[in-house]
Chain A
Amino acid sequence: EAGVAQSPRYKIIEKRQSVAFWCNPISGHATLYWYQQILGQGPKLLIQFQNNGVVDDSQLPKDRFSAERLKGVDSTLKIQPAKLEDSAVYLCASSLGAGVFTDTQYFGPGTRLTVL
């Protein structure tokens, strides 16, 4: 079965520019997650969708970050305007069920963002 797909794999931008990342989860997975992984740290959840509704966005910096999952399948994460501290790997993950806590999350390869 195909895994979680993400694009682009790498992105370099200047600060104050905008950027968007795309994620296509495993087919049939109801729950989709976006994580931010800063160098030397573990991933941190930014936002979680169940189908096309937001379950948790408590750690999403809403003044500059936005995400959507309009048709309950693929998703985009946007940063506008970017700051230097946004340099990180952005990981997308998906899980099959209704987000129950024993559910296994499957991760994509990530997008490495560098903000200059």
Chain B
Amino acid sequence: AQSVTQLDSHVSVSEGTPVLLRCNYSSSYSPSLFWYVQHPNKGLQLLLKYTSAATLVKGINGFEAEFKKSETSFHLTKPSAHMSDAAEYFCVVSDGFSGGYNKLIFGAGTRLAVHP
């Protein structure tokens, strides 16, 4: 069965410094991997997704993630944090073979705080 582990429940950075949110996954098949962001009182928004094409995936708002099969990781990075990046981030795996199609398994989330 597939699963996702987000290694940090909270990350705090200063504005203008790099962001690293760590994610490890477990999947029996070649997975699709996603990062979603959730701002307070707003719906989940897709940041980026990996679907077995290029291992370095670029998303919206300057975020990117690298799929590393040997490490079963899909860490999210951004070179320079902005105040508006403060939110909850979810790493998500889908392998399409557990239960119904396109079943997404969410990690527990990482809350990113950005300080001036």
Residues of A within 8 A of B100 (CB): 48, 55-56, 99
- Does A43 reach chain B (CB closer than 8 Å)? yes
Name the prevailing secondary structure of the A interface residues: loop
Q: Bound state CA distance, A42 and B4, in angstroms?
A: 10
- Does A61 reach chain B (CB closer than 8 Å)? no
Contact of B96 among A42, A91, A100, A110 (CB under 8 A): A100
- Which of A12-20, A67-75, A80-88, A101-109 lies at the interface? A101-109
- Does A4 reach chain B (CB closer than 8 Å)? yes
Are A102 and B43 CB-contacts (below 8 A) given A42-B106, A45-B103, A56-B99?
A: no
Identify which of residues 61-111 in chain B touch chain A, using a CB-to-CB cut-off of 8 Å.
Answer: 90, 92, 94-97, 99-104, 106-109
Q: Bound state CA distance, A105 and B99, in angstroms?
A: 17
Q: Bound state CA distance, A9 and B102, in angstroms?
A: 26
Question: A31 and B43: CB pair below 8 A?
Answer: no
Identify which of residues 20-60 in chain A touch chain B, using a CB-to-CB cut-off of 8 Å.
Answer: 31, 40-45, 48, 50, 55-56, 58
- Please count the residue pairs between chain A and chain B whose beta carbons lie under 8 angstroms apart in the complex: 73
Question: A91 and B43: CB pair below 8 A?
Answer: yes
Q: Bound state CA distance, A101 and B36, in angstroms?
A: 16
Question: A104 and B109: CB pair below 8 A?
Answer: no
Q: Bound state CA distance, A48 and B101, in angstroms?
A: 9
Interface residues on A, range: 20 to 34
Q: Bound state CA distance, A106 and B95, in angstroms?
A: 18
Contact of B109 among A31, A41, A93, A98 (CB under 8 A): A41
Chain B interface (Cβ < 8 Å from any Cβ of A): 4, 32, 36, 41-46, 49, 51, 90, 92, 94-97, 99-104, 106-109
CB<8 Å pairs between A and B, sample of 25: A40-B109, A41-B108, A41-B109, A42-B92, A42-B108, A42-B109, A43-B104, A43-B106, A45-B103, A45-B104, A48-B101, A56-B101, A91-B44, A95-B102, A100-B96, A100-B101, A101-B97, A101-B102, A102-B49, A102-B51, A104-B46, A105-B102, A105-B104, A106-B46, A107-B44
